[in-house]
Structure 1
Amino acid sequence: MLLLALDTATPAVTVALHDGDKVIAESRQVDARRHGELLLPAVDRVLGEAGRKLDAVTDIVVGVGPGPYTGLRVGIVTAATFGAALGVPVRGLCSLDGLAYAAGQAGLEGEFVVATDARRKEVYWARYADARTRVTEPSVDRPGDLTEKLAGLTVVGAGAVLYADSFTDVRADMPEHQSAGALASLAAERLRTGGEFLPDQPLYLRRPDAQVPANYKVVTPK
């Protein structure tokens, strides 16, 4: 197995290679405005670091969000293109699951919440029984609306740090942004155990920021 993992659902543009036993190369750059510019060079860099060629990849996993529209589609379209060109399966994973798994690798145990920055003064979030087990569907809400609902729970991720006053126990020492290495490790584990994956379709959870104005007038020649 040579699994290529990538994720652009958060400000992190992150890519990793996993050989079925361990992560053998990883790249991560945090820049919310340059997903399209940074992703392909990151793939080349990771392949070069591992001494592998793209045609050696047997599986592709991509974080499908939730995340902002523009950044998220960069990763998903790239993964789909690689999959079609190589003739290999493309499997989706919830990006929040990757962050939860990374928190588990960093030593977090028990029940907790992952929250990422959704912009518009909102967070994408989900609740976990442990680092491998999500118990709620991904959602998007204002942090203040979650204060009572998540009272007493540990919260990790960039959304938790950004809106720390809205949560009881923010673990700023835990990963804030996605790690393709953690996503790849989670995917490899699920492949070994027959775990489930998502379609390689984006979890937007809301409409894109850019929309046609409601009072837009179509002008046609007479």
Structure 2
Amino acid sequence: MLVLALDTATPAVTAGVVELTGADVALRSARVERDARKHAELLMPGVQGACADAGVTLRDLDAVVVGAGPGPFTGLRVGMVTAAALGDGLGLPVYGVCSLDAIAVCAAAEPLAGPLLVVTDARRREVYWAAYDATGRRTEGPHVSSPAVAAERGAGLGAVASAGDLAGSVGLPVLPQQSPSPAGLVAVAAEVLRSGAEPGPLEPLYLRRPDAAPPGERKRVTA
């Protein structure tokens, strides 16, 4: 099974082709560009480049996996809308996965001595974070909070390391995984992909209410 994996939940614009077999998740190609302001400009060229590098076309794909966040609204929706459009246009199932889970899967590929925190930039001096056991299984979150709150909660859970693009903000030893990889995204979805189950609704994990709000009722002006 050939799977296209996309993620725009972090400053990294990620696209890759992954081959999923009965036992393995094998990366065929990956294109990653880091620019938090150019998700829309960089993603489709990345998709096309990843397919070319893997020696396949979009018509050769069997499924799409996309990181559903948490992430800032503008960047995150680029990946999710692109994945939905590709799925619709090519007749492919599209599976959304937690982007933090994909980072954790790769971080836990090497044995860990204890729990892990995955921490990414939520802007406004806050972070998105989730906690995982030593095997990369999520045990808490995802949440959005200040780095101090994430650090305090991580200490309470006995976390021994952190990963993600703001891993250094919580005072733990930092692992190299900063953003979701194509192989990590597919690994998170591997069980459901192998089962052939229909994907659930494609819902983004914003964790915040939108800044914009419908206008309220006009105030009455009296003379």
Do structure 1's residue 79 and structure 2's residue 83 form an aligned pair? Answer: yes
Cα-to-partner distance string for 1:38-71 (whole Å, 9 max, x where unaligned) = 0000000001111101011111100000000000
Contact 2:93 2:199 (8 Å CA) reproduced: no
**What are structure 1's unaligned runs of at least 5 residues?**
none
Deviates more, 1:72-81 or 1:182-191: 182-191
1:74/1:131 CA distance change after superposition, 3 Å = farther
Match of 1:36 in 2: 40
In structure 2, which of residues 108, 128, 137 is the aligned counterpart of residue 133 of structure 1? 137
Match of 1:26 in 2: 30
Q: TM-score, normalised by structure 1?
A: 0.85
Match of 2:4 in 1: 4
Alignment-mate amino acid for residue 11 of structure 2? P
Contact 1:67 1:118 (8 Å CA) reproduced: yes
Percent identical among aligned pairs is 46
Match of 1:94 in 2: 98
In structure 1, which of residues 200, 205, 208 is the aligned counterpart of residue 207 of structure 2? 205
Match of 1:159 in 2: 166
C-alpha distance in 2, partners of 1:194/1:126? 28
Match of 2:64 in 1: 60
C-alpha distance in 1, partners of 2:163/2:81? 28
C-alpha distance in 2, partners of 1:197/1:216? 40
Contact 1:122 1:141 (8 Å CA) reproduced: yes
Contact 1:23 1:184 (8 Å CA) reproduced: no
C-alpha distance in 2, partners of 1:2/1:104? 24
Match of 1:182 in 2: 184
Contact 1:115 1:125 (8 Å CA) reproduced: yes
C-alpha distance in 1, partners of 2:58/2:176? 32
Cα-to-partner distance string for 1:61-115 (whole Å, 9 max, x where unaligned) = 0000000000000000000001111111110100000000121235545421111
**What are structure 2's unaligned runs of at least 5 residues?**
none
Alignment-mate amino acid for residue 157 of structure 1? G
1:186/1:215 CA distance change after superposition, 3 Å = closer
Match of 1:170 in 2: 173
Match of 1:112 in 2: 116
Contact 1:9 1:95 (8 Å CA) reproduced: yes
Contact 1:15 1:181 (8 Å CA) reproduced: no
- How far apart are 1:216 and its partner, in Å? 9.9
C-alpha distance in 2, partners of 1:131/1:117? 23
Cα-to-partner distance string for 1:117-167 (whole Å, 9 max, x where unaligned) = 111111101111134411113110001123332114122211222x2xx43
SS in 2 for 1:138: strand
